[in-house]
Chain A
Amino acid sequence: MKDYKLFDRNTEAVIYGYQRNAIQRMLDFDYVSSREKPSVTAIVNPTALKGGLHKAFMGEKELLIPIYPTIADVMKNHSTIETMVNFASFRSAFPTTMEALDYDQLRVISVIAEGMPERYAKEVTAKAKKIGGKILIGPATVGGIVAGAFKIGNTGGMLDNIVESKLHRSGSVGFVSKSGGLSNEANNIIGRNTDGLYEGVAIGGDRYPFSTLTDHLFRYEANPEIKMIVALGEVGGEDEYKIVAALKEGRITKPLVMWNIGTCAGIFKTEVQFGHAGARADKAAETATAKNEALREAGAIVPDSFENYDVVIKETFDKLVADGKHKPIPLTEAPAMPMDYAKALKEKVIRRPRNFVATISDDSGDELAYGGPYDSERSMTISDVFKNEIGIGGVISLLWFKKLLPPWATKFLEMAVMITADHGAAVSGAHNAIVTARAGKDLISCIVSGMLTIGPRFGGAVHGAAKHFSEASDAKKTPLQFVTDMKKAGINIPGIGHLVKSVQNPDQRVTLMKEYAKKNFPSTEVLDYALKVEEVTTSKRNNLIMNVDGCIGILFIDMMRSSGEFTAEEMQQVLDLEGLNSLFILGRTIGMMGHVFDQKRLKQPLYRHPMDDILYY
């Protein structure tokens, strides 16, 4: 490639820094420019120690771009790469740029980061000069673009703007500015008033940019495809005087339209630092007005204000054409860009049925919400969960029933979880968890092993008691009739009977719950019925008392009914969905985890059941 050229339609780049959006924007530009090959050949991601592949689009086609942890790896594998777009942070921009300079194949290096210390920027420049043949752009810039050929990172903004400014094909104007923020505007002005941009570079607003306005003007002067030059300077620094000298010496002969911004600096009382680090006049010659004067005098085309920048650009271009020095390059249409799915969805251009529905919580809003979609009546944000101190019972209520039950009810749910949390090591759930823990398995295997025993015989009485007692009470059966019917059907009444506890030696857990319900529930209809049933059963045998499972199940029904928050259908649904077993499962998981931790802390060996305890028959 000729020295004066930055890039062409075959230029391949390595992107330093995993900048997904910038990479896609470069590839989108490649597509509308009808490039044959993508401009991004490799990516350096210093945190991806093992490398990887990045998936991106070129038009509607997908491609995989290799990711490497170091620049050296890229150089070893891709001899065709000629340029690096350096997105490293202001901290690492210096060492990575110095490293990149060591590779002969990297002719052009652009540094995007803002805030590289000035001393380091000068060291980069000094090294590049010593090596020779390098073109550096930056630091603190969006980069630059060669129309229809190659785009540095995010230059040019959104794709529709790029196409509107005719950047998808080559024009004949070379543009250079300090500011990257104004380059879109300049591209727009040039696109509207000439046959379009050939190349545009923003050197960056720092005090000591790697390359200067003049450096690029000389390249434009040398490039026969560039017919006129447009530049935008600013207050501060003296680079513009090199242009003045070059004009006077006849080293720039192409028409040059230039304006320096910051002519207003005089209106401020104290020195003003505009946005750019270099944009400060330390002496009279550095003011924008002085520079505009000097350039005008040296033969540049300088408007009397930015207001006429577009007018003089148009006049200059039209004159080139009128004088027969240039034939305008026709506008070609850019291939239509397939729209991104996410964008199309956002703009409501397409619709798609969702594969999943979720109605109990929402993490898509500003804050996690329980109970329903964020913003909805029934949901509560996580901060309100704590502000209102709804407790674990309130959280259960929101996530299981999509409504916040009154405090007396959520307190009951908490009580049930606490009471069912553990029942010693002998019951099947804890036993299985212990045996599994002793077999050296992980926590989740142990818990699942214990949990899988929960069912009709273990913990299942909660559900059974709720079902049978509520049905019998609703059917207005007398307690005696209920007991008789169950006996006839050959069903042990769920929730009745205890191995060791009896009327004389009541189960404290049941007593606690009964007392709580009597004191706090608006009504305890099913409990009252069950207590009468208990009178019948205990008259037969004194350990046929209401047990803890029965009590939870029965009170759960009373809670739902007297809260007034559930319709009959909803209550049935809770039963059908094993809503009652869920309380037992939740509570008991706490205990099972305790047993697993316990066994592991005690370093218990593999359990082997004693042979003499097995009847081989």
Chain B
Amino acid sequence: MAQRGIREFYGKRMLAKYLPEYLGGSFGYEGEIALVDEKTNWDTLVKENPWLKTKPLVAKPDQLFGKRGKHGLLLIDKNLDEVRKWIGERMNKETKVGKITDSLTHFIIEPLVKHEEEYYLAIKSNVTGDTIYFSTKGGMDIESVWDTVSEIDVPASTDIETIDVAAKLPAELDDKKKKLVSKYIKGLYKYYADLHFAYLEINPFAMSGDNIFPLDMVARLDDTALYECVEKWGETDFPPPFGRVMSKEEAYIKSLDEKTGASLKLTLINPEGRIWTLVAGGGASVIYADTIADLGKAEEIANYGEYSGDPNKEMTYEYTKTLLDLMTRTKHPKGKVLLIGGGIANFTDIAKTFTGIIQALNDYKDKLKENNVKIYVRRGGPNYKEGLRLMRELGETLGVPIEVYGPETHMTKIVSLGLEEN
């Protein structure tokens, strides 16, 4: 639950549909934009968007990364056949963007817009409210011309109509333009606030006569506001960032996570790594990963993850099994370390969650031995004594060394124990 990026496609469609409400009328942009993914049926697409056949087109990927022109991923002034071919050549291809490699899966097509000026506009949420950024030098790397940007602060709970926006706009705009731009800024701000955007950047937005066109747009929504905006956000989704490719196991844990009220998270960092963590709690899981890195073993961290919110026995069993399976796939000459860690729980029954973990450990008994795994446990909270007793008892039968600690031992002590001894 946080600020999350949305596709340009949905951002622009939403703008076309709802901005007029806040401007008090149309603004010339009709939301002519088409989204293409591998399942797209081109005939249907053309039927729904007849302009595809008649207008010169622009195409680019739509996967939450910017600077597409710079990365050679922008096609301008081509006809439908050319666009189709260009997208076809790139669809589902591994592509390197900056330092990140991932498949291109989503593209947008728009008509090429002839325009006079290119402006820059952004609205960004900050701790006291929002700030509106405006520059007449749109369409380029805005950082390089930051001194041309006008900033207009809108404190929380302030009616934008009470702010003299026109007076704060760059001097090079004449009064008529200032009035027009100010009208658009106010309308956009109301739209941004009402639809719970956290970030909205239109760079450039083109002006042609009295109309404006968003040429390139980046937007983030505050997803906690879904309950208020479900209708206006419509089909808008929150795609994962470019480069986050989920393994089968990560996807499985995500599916478990979505099924319950409890939280189950797993990110594989280095499947060849020696140090595996099975940690309860969001904060504690970060601290364990930190401590391993702080002790100079970052390259040996195999995974990041956590379970919390009182998952039941079946859930901790499935979660542990998935982890143990990954952990015992390739042997390491120095053996491996499993850290079953956690702070002092508020209300989670430790013995109950441990029962699922123990069952999975028993299932993987032989593989754990083969991989020369050593286990360290540290946990506190309701019924922890029983939970730790069960773990110690397991240590006697599992054939894999298990060291067990409670709240009397510092939470991350098992990290240094595990790293030093192994």
Contact = CB atoms under 8 A, between A and B. Distances in A.
Q: How large is the interface on A (under 10, 10 to 19, 20 to 34, 35 or more residues)?
A: 35 or more
Contact of A181 (B3, B284, B298, B416): B284
B224 A267 contact: no
Interface stretch (B39-47, B180-188, B285-293, B357-365): B285-293
B29 to A, nearest CB: 25
B294 A122 contact: no
A261 interface: yes
Contacts of A123: 156-157
7 shortest interchain CB distances as A-B pairs? A275-B282, A185-B343, A305-B294, A277-B2, A122-B156, A264-B289, A117-B225
Nearest to B155: A126
Given A91-B227, A208-B127, A182 B343 contact: yes
Nearest to A160: B382
A513 B156 CA distance: 82
Interface in B365-422: 380-382, 407-408, 410-413, 415-416
A266 B304 CA distance: 12
A400 B284 CA distance: 55
A481 to B, nearest CB: 69
A3 B147 CA distance: 43
A142 B346 contact: yes
Given A261-B287, A263-B293, A306 B412 contact: yes
Contacts of B59: none
Given A184-B346, A268-B304, A116 B224 contact: yes
A127 B298 CA distance: 45
A278 B286 CA distance: 14
A184 B267 contact: no
Contacts of B201: none
B267 A272 contact: yes
A118 interface: yes
A157 B382 contact: yes
20 contacts: A119-B156, A119-B225, A123-B156, A126-B128, A127-B157, A157-B345, A157-B346, A157-B382, A161-B344, A179-B283, A207-B2, A234-B286, A261-B283, A263-B290, A263-B293, A264-B286, A267-B269, A267-B301, A271-B241, A279-B286
B281 interface: yes
Contacts of B345: 157, 184
A115 B196 CA distance: 13
B225 to A, nearest CB: 4
A315 interface: no
A114 B224 CA distance: 9
B243 interface: yes
B175 interface: no
Nearest to A278: B2
Interface string A185-207: 10111001000000000000001
A269 B290 contact: no
Nearest to B270: A267
Contacts of A126: 128-129, 155-157
Given A117-B222, A305-B290, A184 B343 contact: yes
A114 B2 CA distance: 11
A344 B173 CA distance: 77
A577 B343 CA distance: 60
Contacts of A60: none
Contacts of A307: 291, 294-295, 410, 412-413, 415-416
A479 B278 CA distance: 82
Contact of A118 (B198, B242, B243, B290): B198
Contact of A125 (B125, B156, B243): B156
Given A90-B227, A157-B345, A267-B289, 9 more contacts: A126-B129, A161-B382, A182-B281, A187-B344, A189-B410, A262-B290, A264-B301, A277-B2, A306-B291
Interface in A356-395: none
The CB with the most chain A CB atoms within 10 A, among B3, B222, B306, B415, is that of B222
Contact of B283 (A181, A264, A288, A304): A181
A184 B308 CA distance: 15
A116 B267 CA distance: 27
Contacts of A264: 286, 289-290, 292-293, 298, 301, 304
The CB with the most chain A CB atoms within 10 A, among B156, B295, B344, B382, is that of B344
Nearest to A98: B157
A110 interface: no
B193 A119 contact: yes
A123 B129 CA distance: 8
A154 B294 CA distance: 32
Nearest to B299: A267
A156 B100 CA distance: 43
Chain B at the A interface: mostly helix, strand, loop or mixed? mixed
The CB with the most chain B CB atoms within 10 A, among A90, A114, A264, A305, is that of A264
Contacts of B129: 122, 126
A270 B243 contact: yes
Interface of B: 1-3, 100, 125, 127-129, 155-157, 193, 196, 198, 222, 224-225, 227-228, 241-244, 263, 267, 269, 281-284, 286-287, 289-295, 298, 301, 304, 306, 308, 343-347, 380-382, 407-408, 410-413, 415-416
A207 B3 contact: yes
B100 A269 contact: yes
A288 B241 CA distance: 22
A261 B344 contact: no
Chain A at the B interface: mostly helix, strand, loop or mixed? loop
Interface in A250-268: 261-264, 266-268
Contacts of B269: 267-268
Given A185-B343, A188-B407, A271-B241, A158 B382 contact: yes
B415 A188 contact: no
A261 to B, nearest CB: 5
A119 B3 CA distance: 11
Nearest to B222: A118
A305 B177 CA distance: 56
Interface string A286-327: 001000000000000000111101100000000000000000
A275 B283 contact: yes
B192 to A, nearest CB: 10
A181 B281 contact: yes
The CB with the most chain A CB atoms within 10 A, among B283, B293, B380, is that of B283
A274 interface: yes
A273 interface: yes
A561 interface: no
B7 to A, nearest CB: 17
Contacts of B289: 264, 267
Contacts of B242: 270
B346 A117 contact: no
A276 B196 CA distance: 19
Given A119-B225, A188-B380, A207-B3, A274 B291 contact: no
A614 to B, nearest CB: 70
B157 A117 contact: no
B222 A119 contact: yes
A164 interface: yes
B407 A118 contact: no
B283 A182 contact: yes
B3 A277 contact: yes
A271 B65 CA distance: 12
B296 to A, nearest CB: 10
A185 B156 contact: no
The CB with the most chain B CB atoms within 10 A, among A125, A263, A307, A310, is that of A307
Given A117-B222, A179-B282, A305 B127 contact: no
A21 B125 CA distance: 37
A280 interface: yes
Contacts of A270: 100, 241-244
A181 B283 CA distance: 7
A266 B281 CA distance: 20
Contact of B290 (A179, A268, A306): A306
Contacts of A268: 267, 269, 304
The CB with the most chain B CB atoms within 10 A, among A261, A272, A273, A280, is that of A261
A190 to B, nearest CB: 12
